[in-house]
Structure 1
Amino acid sequence: MAMTDLSKEQRAEFEAAAFRRLVEHLRERGDVQNIDLMNLAGFCRNCLSNWYRDAAEASGISMTKDESREIIYGMPYEEWRARHQKDATAEQQVAFERNRPKE
C-alpha cells in the first residue's frame, strides 16, 4: 500500500500510534540518556516535548514546558532527572558540542 492510498485520518491515526509507542519506549528506557540520544540521533526527550508543545500552541492550546515534558516523560521532569539522569562524561560532552543542532 502506498502512502497516497491512506486517508488523511488513517495517516494521522497511524502517526499518533507510532508516536505513542516511541514515547512509551523512551519511558521504559530510562537508562538511555538524553545526551546519548542527541549525540546519535540529533533529538532527545526534551526535543519531543518541545515539538509536542509547538503542535499544541499551533492549535491554539497554551502549554508550558513543564506540562509538555511531563507528557513525554510520564512524570515531572525533575523527578525523571533524579531517578535516571547521570552526569555526562567528558566524551559525551565533546560529542554533543561537535554535533549540537544549529538553532
Structure 2
Amino acid sequence: MSDHSQQEIELQAAAFRRLQQHLMQDRTDVQNIDMMNLAGFCRNCLSRWYQEAAAERGIEIGKTEARELFYGMTMEDWKANYQNESTDTQQEAFAVAFKENVGGK
C-alpha cells in the first residue's frame, strides 16, 4: 500500500471517529428518528455499515455488538439516557425514510 493510500485511510478513519464523537457525545440531543427522516441514515445505520465492512473482511460482528461498539454503550443504556418517545408524525415519516434508504437495500 502506498503512503498516499495509507494516509487517506488514516484521514478517513479520523473523520469517522470525529463524526462518531459528534453524534455520541456532542449531539446526544439529536434523535435517531429525526436523523433518518432528514438525512436517510442514523446512528444505527452507521453501526450497521461498520458491521457490513467487517463482514466484507471476514470478521463476524453481530448487530448488538456493532451497536455497542459504535454507541460505546448498550442500546438499552442509550435509550434510557438519550432517546425520547417519537410522535406519530415522526413514525410516519420514518416508515417512508426507512423504506427509501434501508428497507429496499
TM-score normalised over the length of structure 1: 0.87
Separation in 2, partners of 1:77, 1:59: 25
Root-mean-square deviation (CA, aligned residues, Å) is 1.4
Alignment of 1:1-103 (within 5 A): 7-28=4-25, 29-100=27-98, 101=101, 102-103=103-104
Q: Kindly provide the amino acid, as one letter, of the partner of residue 35 in structure 2.
A: L
Q: Which has the higher helix share?
A: 2
Unaligned runs of 5+ in 1: 1-5
Distance in 2, Cα, partners of 1:98 & 1:53: 24
Deviation at 1:24, TM superposition (A): 0.6
Residues 24-43 of structure 1: CA deviation (Å, up to 9, x unaligned): 11111211110000011100
Alignment identity in percent?
53
CA distance, structure 1, for counterparts of residue 96 and residue 50 of structure 2:
26
Q: Normalising by the residue count of structure 2, what TM-score does the alignment of the two structures yield? A: 0.86
SS at match of 1:32: coil
What CA deviation, in whole Å up to 9, does each residue of 1:49-89 have, x standing for no partner? 00000111111111111111011111111110111111111
Which consecutive aligned stretches of 4+ in structure 1 deviate over 6 angstroms post-superposition? none
